[in-house]
A and B are shown apart, each in its own frame.
Chain A
Amino acid sequence: MKLAYETFIRYAGPEVLQRLSVFREIAHEANAEHLLQDPFAAISVEQDKASDMYSFSMIISEVLCRSVPMNALGMEDVIRRVVLHGDRPQLSADGTELRGAIIRIVTGAWNPDWRKRPTFNDLVGLIGLLKQA
């Protein structure tokens, strides 16, 4: 069970991590109480969809890097880095247009502000355009 929870954290968006009880201590340590979210507050459908988009960006970055996102870090360090510092996996371009386009999609999909992430419907259109090019 612990393993599943630790894996979940590596793919969960910052807005999800901010609701976890473990984030409470991290926020107090870092004097970042303003980032705490009410764990019982209603979550909008749009926000949940955007969280799926963040998880998707982690899946694609895992495929590009061939390693689990922030594999070397423990659970609390992942939360600290993702929420407080806005860290994301390092993606290197290899000069090809396709990889560059994928990296642009991924970086848009892990935007810290969930309102600014694309929807999956947007990506369906984008991939259609990429296939035509």
Chain B
Amino acid sequence: MEGIVNGVSACHAFGIIHKDLKTANIFLEHISDLALWPYRIRIGDFGICRVTGIRRFEEDVSISRKFMNVFGVSIR
């Protein structure tokens, strides 16, 4: 739950609204055998997402990719 909230919150903060959130678009990436929760949440399928702001779409996505990596979220 926390992973999804952090991920979508980061998207909204950078002007990306997913618009098609569902369990089929939430992915678990196995990152470690040692951690208590060995998965990282990834949010996928931004096919119908809304990108707000005055920057061009490509610019927005590349900026968001860069920052969302900080939050452990990626665009697929």
Contact = CB atoms under 8 A, between A and B. Distances in A.
B35 interface: no
A45 B17 contact: yes
Contacts of B66: none
A11 B12 contact: no
A35 interface: no
Given A45-B17, A127-B1, A127-B2, A120 B8 contact: yes
Interface in A45-81: 45, 48-49, 51-52, 55-56, 58-60, 62-63, 68
B76 interface: no
Contact of A120 (B9, B19, B20, B52): B9
Contacts of B61: none
Contact of B21 (A52, A102, A124): A52
Given A52-B12, A120-B8, A59 B21 contact: yes
Interface residues of B, number: 20
Nearest to B48: A8
Nearest to A120: B9
B22 interface: yes
20 contacts: A8-B22, A10-B22, A11-B20, A45-B52, A48-B19, A49-B12, A52-B12, A52-B18, A55-B20, A56-B4, A56-B21, A59-B21, A60-B1, A63-B1, A68-B23, A119-B12, A120-B5, A121-B13, A123-B5, A127-B1
